[in-house]
Chains A and B, each alone.
Chain A
Amino acid sequence: MNSRQVNEMFQIIKTMLAILVAMVFAFLFIVLISNEPLAALKAFLVGPFSSMRRFGNLIEFFIPVCFTALGACIIFSIGQCSVIGEGAVFFGGLIAAWISIKMGTGGMAVQLAALLGAALVCGLIAMIPMHLKLKYNADLFVDSLMLNYVLLYMGTFILNYSIRDSEIGMTASYALPEGSTLPVLVQKTQITTALLLAVAAVILVVIFMEKTSVGYQMRMVGLNEKFARYSGMSVGKLCMLSAFLGGLLSGAGGAVEILGRYERFQWLGLPGFGWDGILIATIAGFKARNVPIAALFIAYIRTGADIMNRTCDVPSELIIAIQSLLILMIASRGFLSKLHQRLIVQHVKSNAAESEV
């Protein structure tokens, strides 16, 4: 085993152990507060697989967060903390609905236009805070966060003044034209072709980050910006590109969510997928290839939590809270650092012993 594998193995051990600790916490709380703890645990753990519809819920949750997590991977792997994903998901959904409604018909072309339009707009928007950071050194976190709220209200404005259906009793857009929504892939669920798009996005992002020199350069900037500059990379351009791609993916996530699962655009607040995306990316160690498994895991516990919430007396928010603890443990360098140190020392020693032989 070489030292890189030792590190990778440690990361896996650490993640698994964190998951174990989090799960123990979850069980403990469920047993403590529930009147029917066994039923609640069963609903939480097995629920997502108990029917096709419920398994469908899991995949439906997986799709948008997969997009936002990929976006977060690209932005965070270059070492920047932009949280534009949340606003981009919302705005992407809105723009997709707007384009569909304005085009007024269905078909592949409309779907494509809605999707691409939403993704592009969000990509461009995500570049704004990054530009302000590079040009004026304005705080990227605060700017991107504030922009999320601006996008929320601008989006609500567009909804109310451009595509709102006043005939119905709630705040929502006109119905999306027939055939403009994504076709269902699996009967009895809302799993649409969006799943295929998510899988394609994973493959493309993995190829981009690992197999192209631009993706490689982005990772290098994230690891050591000075080294990147010394090596002749254009750090500023790479940052802008990463912001664009990050926004683009989140926007696409919002678009497929609306086009896949809704008849009308009816979000009145930020949907939360952006934050989930950052948390999933953290579990994935900001590596795109780990995103599907991390996203599936989160989708699994969140769907389980929802089912438990509906069928038993344990609220799903318990799982949201515990999921955050899980991320804290995975992200902390201090967690299990002694074990890490021991593994490395052991490895170095065994290597030394080998080379002496």
Chain B
Amino acid sequence: MIQLILSSQFLFGVLRLTTPIIFATLSCLIAKKAGVRNITIEGTMLCSALGGVAVSAWTQNVWMGLLAGMAVGVGVGLFLGYFHIIMDTDIWLTGIAINQFANGLTVFVMFLITGDKGSTSSLPSLTIPNVHLPLIEKIPIIGQIVSGQSLLTYLAVVLLLVIYILLYKTPLGLRIRAVGEYALAAESVGENADRIKLIALGISGLCASFGGMFMSMSYSSRFARDMVAGRGFIGIAAESMGGGRPMAAAAAALFFGVADSLANILQSFSIPSELLMAIPYLATIVGLVVYSAKKQKDEQRCIQQNIRNETDDKS
């Protein structure tokens, strides 16, 4: 078993399975930084997955498909923003309703296009190419793991860096963080908090769109109903465990990717697959509780510390 886990195939699979979760995590992260709990990532991914497939089949150009999927993602993000920020709708209800909306809409549109409700296998849709990295490919083991992944897998890494830089190195990022943490402070220097939140939700939708397209244009070569299977939600959990730090959130996403691949690989042993399938979800709950409990403890300790410091100063 250990051999299997250490094999390059396994690690290759980990990266592959982590890809959509990374996108979902980033999507959740940027919205949360602006102070909005985006739980529509699951639905956004579904919509983009279909949008990408449909347009790539229609134009026979994979890049047009990619662009269309991105546009759909931004659209869903702004749709959420419109209802939550401008129409003042409860964020949880908006999220739940938009996810349901996406469930219905994707199947409906798929049926309109293909006459089928199960999948788009009848469409001549294109896939996003896998990329063999020159030089790195030649390195033993590492080359086998890292090279030959989907273009989107590399994009996930790039996007992680881009989001990190956006948040911490650009004026927009600074404003997003300020609005999300203390909107009044930002408004006291003349910022329009609603505008910043809408922008952040647009970016959030964009991030999710890549995750959706990975599922339909890379992981598989067609769209199928419910194909995201909770990965958008797992992204939300990964973000929580990251405690708002992009790199830590990405690490948490990787953890879920490992759990996912483990579940795949352990199937060849006599462990019931149903229990293995539950691992990523169970891991999420345990991870969240451990993280929250630790955070709570730290906060208490912080208060204690302050009291002690202040009394020390006094004496």
Contact = CB atoms under 8 A, between A and B. Distances in A.
A87 to B, nearest CB: 10
B274 A156 contact: yes
Given A132-B289, A138-B289, A279 B96 contact: yes
A328 B94 contact: yes
The main secondary structure of chain B at its interface with chain A is helix
A230 interface: no
B8 interface: no
A324 interface: yes
Given A317-B117, A321-B105, A335-B87, A279 B275 contact: no
Given A153-B275, A335-B87, A321 B237 contact: no
Given A139-B240, A149-B281, A153-B278, A317 B104 contact: yes
A26 to B, nearest CB: 11
A283 B128 CA distance: 42
A332 B83 contact: yes
B86 interface: yes
Contacts of B296: 136-137
Contacts, number: 151
Interface string B1-42: 000000000000000000000000000000000000101000
A229 to B, nearest CB: 19
Interface residues of A, number: 47
B103 interface: yes
Interface stretch (A116-124, A140-148, A211-219, A344-352): A140-148
Contacts of A343: none
Contacts of A321: 100-101, 103-105, 108
A154 B39 CA distance: 25
Interface string B258-288: 0000000000000010110110011011001
Interface in A41-68: none
The main secondary structure of chain A at its interface with chain B is helix
Interface in B88-119: 88-90, 92-94, 96-101, 103-108, 111-112, 117
24 contacts: A81-B92, A139-B237, A143-B285, A143-B288, A146-B288, A149-B281, A150-B278, A153-B275, A154-B278, A157-B272, A161-B272, A278-B93, A315-B117, A317-B108, A317-B111, A320-B100, A321-B104, A324-B100, A327-B97, A327-B100, A328-B83, A328-B101, A332-B94, A334-B87
Interface of B: 37, 39, 83, 86-90, 92-94, 96-101, 103-108, 111-112, 117, 226, 230, 233-234, 236-237, 240, 272, 274-275, 277-278, 281-282, 284-285, 288-289, 291-293, 295-296
Interface of A: 33, 81, 83, 129, 132, 136-139, 141-143, 145-147, 149-150, 152-154, 156-157, 160-161, 269, 275, 278-279, 282, 315, 317-325, 327-328, 331-335, 337
